A and B are shown apart, each in its own frame.
Chain A
Amino acid sequence: MKLPTDKNERMKILGLIGFGIVAVIVCAIWFGLMPMLEQREKLKKDIVSLNEKLAQADKENKQRGRDIDNNHKTIQSIKDISDKYMIKPVLNNYVLEATDFIESQGKSVGVKITGVHEGGFTEVSRLGDIRNAKAYIVHVNVECGYSDFVKLLHQIESANPYYSVSSITITGQPIKDPRKQLIAFELQWPTWSDTDMPAKLDEQLAEVAKLEMEEQLEAKKPIQK
């Protein structure tokens, strides 16, 4: 096909061709290139975001082994305190264990315990953020010399660093027996607010041991690429 010989006609046709080319280019940019560029940007953003998430996950996962180890130690410490020093109910009864303990301590220092009475529990709500443990209160009466009482207290306080002596009243008996005083004291014993806590600690320990084993197995696995 030849272009017309007439200059004006030729210019018109060339103009039309030029316009057509420009239109095709604009359409190609508008409907082809722009969406593809947008998609490319979205892909880049996705990759950056995924990389960040992966780095974060990697960081968390690297810390997990240490966290499991620390958690194991923490639960074991709680369990040790719970087993050794916290009073637990036997058939919903606390006072029997408390009485046994106080009488055995009295016997070991030669002080006769004249009475052990249950005093209930402290109001946990008054303590603000103390939620897991509450205080079981025991009132104890003895009649002995001051020095013997000091020995008894020392014995009780040495046996359990978590007890607290919350009140003491020592009254002299100058007429009846000046060598012996009437002594009443109150002992606060930590106990779990949730009586199922010891069982829950055992469950947690078992779970942590399982996690530790899984971690060890994973550490032995060859790295997959």
Chain B
Amino acid sequence: MNLRVDLILDTERRSASVINVKSVMRISAIVVPSILALIVAWFMFSMWQLKTDRDSLKKALDIEGPKKLLSLRVRADLANNAVVLNELEGWRRARIDWSDQLLGLQKQIPDKMQLSTLTMASELKPINNAPARLYNLALDGQAVGDTAQTLVMQLQNVLMQSSSLSNCLAATNAFKVTRFEGPENATDDNKNDRFFRIECSYKPGLF
């Protein structure tokens, strides 16, 4: 039988462990505030750095901002002026050179046919919200003799096939005979004569 006699008082007890609560508390009392102080210092430094960055960016923007406004104004002016220039160029685009058209017509009219009137009229009209010039041409004339009908048909075909005219026409069959009639008081001499009217529309000249 063994008898264990503990002669150490409770207050005199010491831990055999290397780490004890007291030492941890002491070390913590120094280390934790130090770490906290470092974190706070780093935080304050980064805040100062961010503020410095922001202020320098603000200063740069104070310089670049008015320049940007000027740039935007210049671009707006350029856009407005481009619209004006495009509008003026539209005048050139929308027109048809009538000297070329009249010359082309002259070449196609047969000798046996007499034109009495040539009328060209135009109007300004929006097409798909775009302003355009619309041209119409009408030829009035008289074909003489038995072959009057054939002559008018030939004229119609020749006009439609004329390369100098067809480029500007609204359609390949743009020339239409809208009048074909004999004289009111026909005699034996002129009973086969025919008065005719040929009309055509041109491609819209878009501004």
Using known A-B contacts A57-B61, A78-B81, determine if residue A147 contacts B124 with beta carbons closer than 8 Å: no
Indicate with 1 or 0, residue by residue over B99-131, a CB within 8 angstroms of chain A CB atoms: 110110010000000111111111011100111
B62 to A: closest C-beta gap in Å: 11
A216 within 8 A of B: no
Hey, which chain B residues are within 8 Å of A126, CB to CB? 124-126
Q: Judging by beta carbons under 8 Å apart, are A164 and B53 in contact? A: no
One of B61, B78, B92, B129 near A161 (C-beta < 8 A): B92
A40 touches B131 (CB 8 A): no
Contact A167 B106 (CB under 8 A): no
A117 within 8 A of B: no
A78 touches B43 (CB 8 A): no
Using Cβ atoms and an 8 Å threshold, which residues of chain B touch A204? Answer: 77, 81
User: B54-87 vs A: 1/0 string, CB under 8 Å?
Assistant: 1001101100110110111011011001111101
| Distance A54 CA – B92 CA, assembled complex (angstroms) | 43
Range, interface on chain A: 35 or more
Contact A168:B70 (CB < 8 A) given known A54-B57, A67-B75: no
A171 touches B117 (CB 8 A): yes
Complex CA gap A216/B120 in Å reads 54
A residues in contact with B84, CB < 8 Å: 78, 132
A50 touches B50 (CB 8 A): no
- Taking a contact as CB atoms under 8 Å apart, the answer to whether A77 and B117 are in contact is no
Q: How far is the CA of A127 from the CA of B87 in the complex (A)?
A: 11
Contacts A57-B64, A164-B94 hold; do A67 and B58 have CB atoms under 8 A apart?
no
A40-B46, A64-B74 known; A127 vs B207 contact (CB < 8 Å) = yes
B61 touches which one: A39, A50, A133 (CB < 8 A)? A50
| A146 interfacial by beta-carbon distance below 8 Å | yes
Query: Across the interface, which residues of A come within 8 angstroms of B85, CB to CB?
Result: 74, 77-78, 81
Complex partner residue of A153 from B77, B81, B99, CB under 8 angstroms = B99
How distant is A176 from chain B, measured CB to nearest CB, in Å? Answer: 13
Which B residues touch A114, using CB under 8 A? none
Interface string of A142-153 (1 = CB under 8 A from B): 000011011101
Contacts known (A57-B67, A71-B77); A43 close to B91, Cβ less than 8 A = no
Given A47-B53, A61-B71, A162-B91, does the pair A172, B116 have CB atoms closer than 8 Å? yes
A87 on interface, CB distance cutoff 8 Å: no
- Residue B176 at the chain A interface, CB threshold 8 Å: no
User: Is A154 a contact of B99 with CB atoms below 8 Å?
Assistant: yes
* 4 cross-chain pairs, A with B, having the tightest CB-CB distances, nearest first: A154-B99, A153-B99, A57-B68, A50-B57
B residues near A, CB below 8 A?
43, 46-47, 50-51, 53-54, 57-58, 60-61, 64-65, 67-68, 70-72, 74-75, 77-78, 81-85, 87-88, 90-92, 94-100, 102-103, 106, 114-122, 124-126, 129-131, 133, 207
With A130-B87, A164-B133 known, 20 other A-B pairs at CB within 8 A are A36-B43, A54-B61, A56-B68, A57-B61, A57-B71, A58-B64, A64-B70, A68-B74, A70-B78, A71-B78, A78-B84, A81-B88, A122-B124, A149-B102, A150-B106, A164-B95, A164-B122, A165-B96, A167-B119, A170-B118
